[in-house]
Amino acid sequence: MEIKQGEPLKNHTSIRIGGPAKFFCAPKNIAELNEALAFEGKKIIIGRGTNLLFADEGYDGLVIKIDECCTSLQIEGETVVVGAGVSLNKLVDTLAEKNLGGLEFLAGIPGSVGGAVVMNAGAWGSEIGTFVKWVKVVSYEGEEKVLRQADLHYSYRSSAIAGVVVEAKLKVKQGADLKLIKEYRSKRKAKHPLDLPNCGSVFKNPKPLIAAKLIEEACCKGLRVGDAKVSEKHANFIVNLGQATSKDVLNLVQLIKSRVKKVDLVPEVKVVLE
């Protein structure tokens, strides 16, 4: 397996920020994944990098990208067993082609199944964790385990999953709602600043309050540090105007937090600083 040195992480994150990875690989199969996991030293797993902010200094270890090694998708009655590297959009569309639904709420979320299962991705009042029957993980020691839903301790944008997700079994149901899929995608286009690099919602919603509303009320829309800017379209998005650095984003995050006095906003985006 090829291990690259100095691969720019900005090429693997949706916000287009991140310095060089000391080492970088994208295993093509489980044997190569195990080879990568046997690598001595610090490692991090990434999927599509849509919820990640890497430092400008890069990552001083091995970055393992999960895509090509986990692309299976098998429908078994009213369940689907799907590889961690499959994109959520492909999952939703493949199910829809077979007239299977239940996961329509994932339409338009740009992450991978692996990232979604770990983060408990959700939208429009639903979360993927509710649909998980089991998750197959490979531990950092190379041991394969199947974790049942009860072991995963899902909560808002969080799970107890440790190790690398390679596959998950999800509940689906007969009847895809194509209209809903289309509606969700067009609502995202209308509401989110998809024309500029971003990493999705920066802060978790401090339920029952909504982060975007609090940020807007604190007059943060349009605030800018360097090339990082609070989107005018959706206040909980920070966009990269071109040359934004991780420091710009983190300084902007601090500025927003200091202006929103009602609650202590907690980042949803995973920040990897070293």
Ligand X SMILES: Cc1cc2nc3c(=O)[nH]c(=O)nc-3n(C[C@H](O)[C@H](O)[C@H](O)COP(=O)(O)OP(=O)(O)OC[C@H]3O[C@@H](n4cnc5c(N)ncnc54)[C@H](O)[C@@H]3O)c2cc1C
- Catalytically active residues are 157, 201, 268
Nearer to ligand X, 77 or 208 (CB): 208
Is 81 a binding residue for ligand X by CB under 6 A? The answer is no
Separation CA 189–CA 195 (nearest Å): 9
**Residue numbers 197-216 binding ligand X by CB under 6 A:** 198-200
Separation CA 101–CA 90 (nearest Å): 13
- The runs of H, that is alpha helices, within the chain are 30-37, 88-97, 113-119, 178-191, 211-217, 246-259
Q: Are the C-beta atoms of residues 91 and 48 closer than 8 Å to each other?
A: no
Q: Give me the phi and psi of 31, to 5 degrees please.
A: -60, -45
Find the part of the chain contacting ligand X (CB under 6 A) among 50-58, 139-147, 219-227, 239-247. 50-58
Among 44, 180, 250, 255, binds ligand X (CB under 6 A): 44
**Tokens standing for 271?**
């920040």
Is 271 a binding residue for ligand X by CB under 6 A? The answer is no
From 199, 220, 229, 228, select the one nearest 265 (Cα to Cα).
220
**Which x/- pattern, by CB under 6 A, does the window 91-130 give for ligand X?**
------------------xxxx-xxx-xx-xxx-------
Find the part of the chain contacting ligand X (CB under 6 A) among 47-55, 148-156, 224-232, 245-253. 47-55
Separation CA 39–CA 17 (nearest Å): 25
**Which x/- pattern, by CB under 6 A, does the window 235-264 give for ligand X?**
------------------------------
Nearer to ligand X, 210 or 259 (CB): 210
Is 10 a binding residue for ligand X by CB under 6 A? The answer is no
Separation CA 186–CA 48 (nearest Å): 21
Q: How many residues bind ligand X (CB under 6 A)?
A: 32
Is 169 a binding residue for ligand X by CB under 6 A? The answer is no
Decide: helix, strand or coil at residue 167: strand
Q: Are the C-beta atoms of residues 64 and 164 closer than 8 Å to each other?
A: yes
Separation CA 200–CA 57 (nearest Å): 22
Rounded to the nearest whole angstrom, what is the least distance from the CB of residue 194 to ligand X in the complex?
6
Give the residues lining the site for ligand X (CB under 6 A): 14, 44-52, 66, 84, 109-112, 114-116, 118-119, 121-123, 164-165, 192, 194, 198-200, 270
